[in-house]
Amino acid sequence: MISKLILGIVPLLVATHLYGEEVANRPNVLFIAVDDLRPELGCFGAEVKTPNFDKLAASGAIFSKAYCQQAVCGASRVSLMTGLYPTKTGEHTFHVKDWRKRHPKVVTLQQNFQAQGYHCVGMGKIYHGNSGPDIDPAHWDDWEKVAGKSYALPESLTAQANNTARKGKQPKGPSTESAEVDDNFYREGQLADVAARKLAELSKAKKPFFLAVGFQKPHLPFVAPKKYWDLYQREDFVMPSNRGVPPGYPPYATNRGAGELVAYADIGQVSPKDFPKALNQRLLHGYAACVSYTDRNLGVVLKALEKNGLAENTIVVLWGDHGWKLGDHSSWCKHTNFECDTRVPLFVRAPGKKGSLEVKQPVELIDLYPTLCELSGLQAPAHLQGKSFAKLLAQPETHHRDTAYSVYPHGKFMGHSIRSGNYRYTEWHDRKSGEVTARVLTDLVEDPGETTNVVNDPAHARSLQLVQKQLTDRIASALK
């Protein structure tokens, strides 16, 4: 009897050992989210100084046609982390702290890694604000708290204290600040330092890690140490030429106001069309300064990865949660289906894969979940609606998707939009009846700023017929 028991235990111990060895040999994942970052980076052709983003691009792959599923923080992030479209979950708001109550059984990205042997650590903005441990506490092994300040200058703090525009909410200070302070005075610099220290700690662990780091800049307010402002001359900044909207673009679907800017102490209820030149240039300057500040903070994290001997066995993925308007369409912020709001920067560097690779195939942020599972050798949950694009890291010309699908609600209307080839096609549906209330087709080669609606142009009739069917199919697929 004892000998039979021993014979049964030995294979189990061997299998357990082999499984433990298999898990230990899996790649780590460094998962970096950046808030409100459009592809305004050197490696995407912009004149913003971003040496660390550019270095990451040179060592991995950049995706020039990557799209979010909804151009607002919370909805975009929940979609990515759950692997489900907002159309499916109904999660459309920026503030999604309670989404887990509505979807208690959904296996999130880091939850899937945790269940298959990974040590999962989070810090910064991964869902909304710094609410990761509040939303999904059981599925983070550690959540790192980060200190640091939001403002440095006395006048900024006074303006914040005196701002009553947000009754019942934390008051906002000025929309910009340039102060002679160290990199780690502000919270973003502290976050980079915490991430670097955590990487040193994780390098000594036996289990592979999934480390999520969420940078908030260049989200408003545009606050960065003065040296990043000094990288640019303010008079060099000019407003975009696409100040209008396409004919037929319904008023309820635009973000014609200043968006979240109105809550800041130095803005108020002023239409962006009435912003003086000096304010426009200050905001453009501030966005660029914050992007360069985030570039520095990214560099701190990537250097820590190398210093601790982790770079060769770590998948690095960096994504922006949505795009952003910098005065485009006489507006600021996000909250629409325009190309500049839905297109995002995306980088993937994986062990054994090529560097300096540009992938021009359309991909969606929802595709990251299955992609990371495949690259890590993990089983992916059956509920995922995204498609792995791991093959593109070796064969960038391989077909992945025909279209990229995004949505945005405005009141009683839902905007459904796709990027298909040279076109962006958007329909607005009455959310109760389903009736199509407006349609816009833009040719992004002829009209990259999206100012002309060619939906009734006979020259584009065949293309319109194709994209209408594609969008209908994408909506139906997202609801399954």
Model confidence pLDDT, tens digit, residues 351-397: 999 899 999 999 999 999 999 999 999 999 999 999 999 999 999 99
pLDDT tier, 96 (very low <50, low <70, confident <90, very high otherwise):
confident
The larger pLDDT score, comparing residue 7 to residue 235, is at: 235
Tokens of 335: 């909250």
pLDDT tier, 21 (very low <50, low <70, confident <90, very high otherwise):
low
Q: What is residue 13's three-state secondary structure?
A: helix
Based on its alpha-carbon atoms, the radius of gyration of the chain, rounded to whole angstroms, reads 23
Distance, in Å, from the CA atom of 308 to the CA atom of 145, rounded to the nearest integer, reads 22
In this predicted structure, what is the pLDDT of residue 98?
Answer: 82
pLDDT tier, 336 (very low <50, low <70, confident <90, very high otherwise):
very high
**Annotation says 73 is catalytic:** yes
pLDDT tier, 10 (very low <50, low <70, confident <90, very high otherwise):
very low
Residue 15 has pLDDT above 50, yes or no: no
Task: Return the sign of the alpha-carbon dihedral for residues 296, 302, 305, 308.
Answer: negative
The larger pLDDT score, comparing residue 192 to residue 93, is at: 192
Report the range out of 6-10, 44-48, 90-94 with the highest average pLDDT.
44-48
In this predicted structure, what is the pLDDT of residue 168?
Answer: 58
Give 153-169 pLDDT, tens digit per residue. 999 999 999 987 665 57
Distance, in Å, from the CA atom of 140 to the CA atom of 211, rounded to the nearest integer, reads 10
Distance, in Å, from the CA atom of 80 to the CA atom of 64, rounded to the nearest integer, reads 18
Strands 325-326 and 363-364: unpaired
Please state which architecture CATH assigns to domain 28-401.
Answer: 3-Layer(aba) Sandwich (3.40)
> Annotated catalytic residue: which of 73, 290, 333, 373?
73
Mean pLDDT taken over the chain: 93
Residue 8 has pLDDT above 90, yes or no: no
> Annotated catalytic residue: which of 92, 119, 128, 410?
128
In this predicted structure, what is the pLDDT of residue 424?
Answer: 98
In this predicted structure, what is the pLDDT of residue 171?
Answer: 87
Instruction: Report in angstroms the alpha-carbon separations of 295 from 77, 169, 192, 291, 444.
Output: 21, 30, 11, 6, 29
Give 311-326 pLDDT, tens digit per residue. 999 999 999 999 999 9
Q: Where are the domains of the chain?
A: 28-401
Residue 14 has pLDDT above 90, yes or no: no
Give every CB contact of residue 204 below 8 A, 6+ residues apart in sequence: none
φ/ψ (deg, to 5) at 353? -100, 160
Q: Give the mean model confidence (pLDDT) for residues 82-105.
A: 89
The larger pLDDT score, comparing residue 18 to residue 38, is at: 38
Identity of the residue numbered 411: G
φ/ψ (deg, to 5) at 475? -65, -45
**Which range (13-22, 90-99, 244-253, 272-281) has the least confidence?**
13-22
Instruction: Write 438-443 long-range contacts (CB < 8 A, 24+).
Output: 438/248, 438/249, 438/250, 438/253, 439/248, 440/246, 440/248, 440/249, 441/467, 442/246, 442/339
Q: Find the DSSP H helices in 348-414.
A: 368-376
pLDDT tier, 125 (very low <50, low <70, confident <90, very high otherwise):
very high
